[in-house]
């Protein structure tokens, strides 16, 4: 199988797999008092430190931020959204469903438009937020979009939001492990991340929040994670999350260059060979691995099936909502016609892909 759907989930880093084996069968409950429990606690706290380093908090500033483990990026996003439901919330039209779905039944959730290139419309954002009341405000704009890979102008978003005393959250699930994210440089109040997008395992995410803000838990129980998120921690998966963070720091440049090379080659050959292909967000900053390809009059669903039959896995729109084949809400927000959206496939390469896999994909794509 040539797997080109790494934005949906990526392969576990080979070094993490090796480490995992040593803890696999240990009964590690980080809240237990005995030695196994202490070992579990140590593993969880080490992972927290590694994640702190990954997002630029470093050991010196760890007191200013709390890293709370959750069961997914989705849960981290829900945790922050639920904490601001009594205020006014501003989200972009292209957020992941774990943020976007809040527009239903909440008339205090406002949608910020995006431009044709997939970036947030900053003028529209300022117009919206400046009109609003004295209530608490939360702005939630993703760092990079999962379908297009387009990187959002987060710095500008923060500047405008702070002018109107709003709190700022960014869903960094797709950005983490692909581009640098430094909380010393970005004055974000909250970010959400997830392990399975950059070499860790599924079923673990985190909300990183400035400690000066008090958040209300959404899951009650044994008081784990300083009472913000009850439920026994998945120690092994948290360990893998921390290792993924550490490995990213060691391999960041190499990974970026590798994915960028594969993605650029893929796009260059497609654009050379097919006059009717467009790459979404081609002219703006994108993640190094993501290509959303519109190929007019070539139905995405048929291409996906044909590619799958030939051993190639790519995605139609967002795999997070897989199963449902409908035109992408993201492309619609960008003003892409329904006919073009119907032809769009997302190719997201990963560090494990090789140049010869890209060559083979291009051959197969040409054939089908
Ligand atoms: N946010 C973005 C931008 C995503 O792409 C995804 C998943 O694809 C999520 C949130 C949800 O993360 P998780 O799969 O950990 O729930």
Residue 11 DSSP code: P
* Ligand 1 pocket mutation pick from 176, 177, 197 by most atoms within 8 angstroms of CB: 197
pLDDT, tens digit, for every residue of 323-364? Answer: 556 789 999 999 999 999 999 999 999 999 999 999 999 999
Bridge-based pairing of strands 345-348 and 312-313 is unpaired
What does the pLDDT read at residue 18?
83
The pocket around ligand 1, CB under 6 angstroms, is made up of 72-74, 77, 96, 98, 142, 146, 171, 173-174, 194, 205, 320
Q: Which residues fall within 8 angstroms of residue 360, CB to CB, at 6 or more apart?
A: 2
320 noted as active-site residue: yes
Between CA 249 and CA 284 the distance in angstroms is: 25
**Which member of 320, 362, 364, 368 is catalytic?**
320
Q: How far is the CA of 244 from the centre of ligand 1 (A)?
A: 17
List the one residue out of 181, 173, 216, 218 whose CA is nearest residue 198.
173
Q: Check whether 60 has a pLDDT greater than 70.
A: no
pTM: predicted TM-score of the whole model, two decimal places: 0.96
pLDDT, tens digit, for every residue of 219-252? Answer: 999 999 999 999 999 999 999 999 999 999 999 9
Q: At what angle do helices 355-367 and 300-309 cross, to 10 degrees?
A: 120
């Amino acid at each position: 199988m040539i797997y080109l759907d790494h934005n949906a989930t990526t392969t576990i880093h080979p070094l993490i797999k090796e480490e995992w084996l040593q803890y696999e069968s240990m009964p590690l409950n980080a809240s237990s008092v005995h030695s196994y429990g202490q070992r579990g606690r140590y593993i969880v706290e080490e992972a927290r430190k590694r994640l702190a380093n990954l997002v630029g908090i470093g050991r010196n500033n760890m007191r200013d931020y709390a890293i709370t483990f959750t069961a997914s990026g989705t849960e981290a996003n829900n945790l922050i959204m639920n904490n601001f439901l009594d205020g006014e919330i501003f989200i972009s039209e292209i957020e992941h469903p774990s943020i976007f779905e809040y527009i239903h039944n909440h008339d205090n959730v406002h949608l910020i438009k995006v431009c044709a290139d997939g970036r947030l419309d900053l003028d529209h954002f300022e117009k919206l937020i400046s009109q609003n009341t004295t209530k608490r405000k939360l702005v939630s704009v993703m760092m990079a979009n999962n379908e297009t890979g387009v990187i959002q102008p987060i710095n500008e978003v923060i500047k405008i939001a702070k002018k109107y005393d709003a709190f700022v959250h960014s869903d960094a699930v797709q950005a983490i492990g692909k581009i640098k994210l430094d909380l010393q440089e970005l004055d974000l109040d909250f970010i959400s991340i997830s392990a399975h997008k950059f070499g860790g395992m599924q079923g673990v995410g985190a909300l990183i929040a400035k400690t000066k803000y008090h958040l209300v838990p959404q899951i009650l129980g044994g008081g784990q994670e300083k009472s913000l998120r009850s439920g026994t921690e998945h120690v092994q998966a948290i360990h893998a999350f921390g290792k993924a963070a550490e490995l990213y720091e060691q391999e960041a440049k190499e990974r970026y260059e590798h994915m960028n090379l594969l993605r650029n080659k893929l796009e260059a050959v497609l654009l050379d060979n097919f006059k009717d292909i467009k790459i979404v967000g081609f002219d703006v900053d994108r993640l190094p691995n993501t290509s959303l390809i519109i190929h007019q009059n070539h139905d995405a669903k048929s291409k996906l099936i044909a590619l799958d039959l030939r051993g190639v896995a790519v995605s139609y729109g967002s795999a997070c909502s897989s199963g449902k084949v409908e035109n992408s809400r993201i492309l619609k927000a960008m003003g892409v016609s329904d006919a073009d959206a119907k032809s769009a496939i997302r190719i997201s390469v990963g560090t494990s892909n090789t140049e010869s896999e890209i060559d083979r994909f291009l051959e197969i794509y040409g054939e089908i």
